[in-house]
Amino acid sequence: ALRREDKKVVAVVGAGLVGALNACFFAKRGFEVEVFETREDIRKAKVVKGRSINLALSHRGRTALKHVGMEDKIVSKGIPMNARMIHSLSGKQSPIPYGKKGQYILSVDRANLNKELLTAAETYPNTKLNFDHKLQDWSAETGLMTFARPHGSKTQTQADLIVGCDGAFSAVRKQFLRRSRFNYSQTYIPHGYMELTMRPRNGEFAMKPNYLHIWPRNTFMMIALPNLDKTFTCTLFMPFEEFEKISTGDEVIEFFQKYFPDAIPLIGAATLRRDYFRLPAQAMVSVKCSPYHIGDKCVLMGDAAHAVVPFYGQGMNAGFEDCIVFDEIMNQFNEDFSAVLPEYSRVRVPDDHAIADLAMYNYVEVFSPALWSSGLLVIHSLEAGKTHSLFLCRKTSCFKISQRDL
Ligand code: FAD
């Protein structure tokens, strides 16, 4: 391909949510952007494999979309969730608002969000999307990357900057692990998750749509987020050994009868019996590392830098915010990668580690039997990304019990 001599080449590895958005940020600045994605183009694929079907988009994620002119498009296809709706064992439902009146988070379709961002990236003439390119290795000295192609062939390409957006099991990050003074930790939690679909009833949502429904049951929990086609995607979280105890359709119904009786007619007994065995429960990992860069050649963003457990609903949102923070530092240092990359690590590592910690605290708390059974709920809130508050809530009252600056 012909390149403008004066423009640097930025390779974005991974065209998931964060990679696709980041491609827009770099393209907007006028770089030659090459995106490399191991999967085929999800806009053409018949089946799109991936993680959760829908996810919660919050303020920090929306702000990042706004920077590339995509906020309205995505928000128009999102469903506002004004509150959590807690389902008790007896079937009673009680709402707990997310914020003040009128405040909400949005349930958005992951595949649609990803497709829209890819299409947005492609509208920039200086962006090229390369699907079926799996990064195998790269050099921190030269920026030379080696990709595996279908049918066993390989290709090599060089870039001035490599942006690792290739998710929790990042191939870009592997190179970091070989280097001195790189800190890395990963933790798998004992819980797994499984998604089940609740279909519409008489053409309407089977439950109230503008809520994130939660069935808290000590060490188990189910949540449900609404979709535009009037289905709900239910996600069942429980320890792997509990998933494994259930091996027949009758056992599935028995289990739901005991813990989620109101969900049986809503999902449908026949669907439950079938769908529980469709896919095995999926693992959840928390990854923390630092720094996020190597010299002036490579930087990690999104799950590649900080995979978090999903109990704070901020993984993608934090990844989107990475793009804004990087963009701001690019302005500050006049796009000089040798200054921008270390500053990005300095500024971003503490905030992303804080999100990972909050997600892990929430994991511990939502599964804390003592709190739920006493009717109390501990809620974390991260205000303006800088202050962490802890609220203790009863049905009608809510107390702030701690606040600290991050
Ligand atoms: P990914 O989405 O993992 O994308 C990585 C991309 O890189 C993929 O397309 C992959 O194919 C590609 N890739 C991988 N390896 C290579 C390679 N070697 N070469 C080239 N390409 C490669 N976050 C929220 O903000 N809100 C939520 O409500 C929420 N709910 C969640 C629920 C669940 C059950 C889970 C598991 C996660 C949830 N998250 C949520 C977190 C969110 O899914 C992630 O933070 C988000 O997907 C991160 O985006 P990413 O682009 O960094 O990584």
User: What pLDDT was estimated at residue 360?
Assistant: 86
Separation of CA 171 and ligand 1 centre (Å)? 14
Separation of CA 329 and ligand 1 centre (Å)? 24
CA angle (332 as vertex; 59, 117 as ends), nearest 5: 40
- Closest ligand 1 atom, residue 235 Cα: 34
User: What pLDDT was estimated at residue 371?
Assistant: 46
User: Could you count the other beta carbons within 10 Å of the beta carbon of residue 341?
Assistant: 23
Of 393, 356, 388, 355, residue with least CA distance to 371: 393
DSSP calls for 330-349: HHHTTT-HHHHHHHHHHHHH
User: What pLDDT was estimated at residue 390?
Assistant: 58
The dihedral through the CA atoms of 235, 238, 244, 248 has a sign that is negative
Q: Under CATH, which architecture does the 9-81+103-187+285-366 domain have?
A: 3-Layer(bba) Sandwich (3.50)
According to DSSP, the residues that pair with 81 across neighbouring strands are 105
* Domain spans of the chain, in order of start: 9-81+103-187+285-366, 189-282, 376-405
User: What pLDDT was estimated at residue 372?
Assistant: 47
The preferred substitution site among 12, 17, 65 for testing ligand 1, maximizing ligand atoms within 8 Å of CB, is 17
User: What pLDDT was estimated at residue 52?
Assistant: 77
- Closest ligand 1 atom, residue 55 Cα: 28
Q: Collect the ranges in the chain with pLDDT lower than 70.
A: 1-5, 48-50, 368-406
Q: How many helices (H) and strands (E) does the chain have?
A: 13, 22
Q: What is the pLDDT of residues 282-325, one digit of tens each?
A: 999 999 999 999 999 999 999 999 999 999 999 999 999 999 99
Residue bearing the CA closest to ligand 1, atom 39: 315
DSSP character for 53?
S
- Closest ligand 1 atom, residue 134 Cα: 19
Q: What is the pLDDT of residues 214-248, one digit of tens each?
A: 999 888 899 999 999 999 999 999 999 999 999 99
Residue ranges in 29-142 assigned as alpha helix (H): 59-67, 71-75, 110-122
Residue bearing the CA closest to ligand 1, atom 26: 313
The pTM for the full model equals 0.91
Which residue type sits at 170? S
Which residue type sits at 97? P
Separation of CA 404 and ligand 1 centre (Å)? 29
User: What pLDDT was estimated at residue 99?
Assistant: 83
- Our measurement of the distance from residue 383's CA atom to the centroid of its chain's CA atoms, rounded to an integer in Å, reads 19
Classify each residue of 11-50 as buried b or exposed e, where b means 16 or more C-beta atoms within 10 Å of its C-beta: bbbbbbbbbbbbbbbbbbeebbbbbbbbbeebeeeeeeee
Separation of CA 285 and ligand 1 centre (Å)? 12
DSSP calls for 201-261: BTTB-SS-SSEEEEEEETTEEEEEEE-TTS-EEEEEEEEHHHHHH--SHHHHHHHHHHH-T
Report ipTM (2 d.p.). Answer: 0.99
Separation of CA 2 and ligand 1 centre (Å)? 32
Protein residues with CB under 6 Å of any ligand 1 atom: 13-19, 36-39, 51-52, 55-56, 134-135, 165-167, 171, 193, 235, 284, 302-304, 310, 313-317, 319
User: What pLDDT was estimated at residue 373?
Assistant: 47
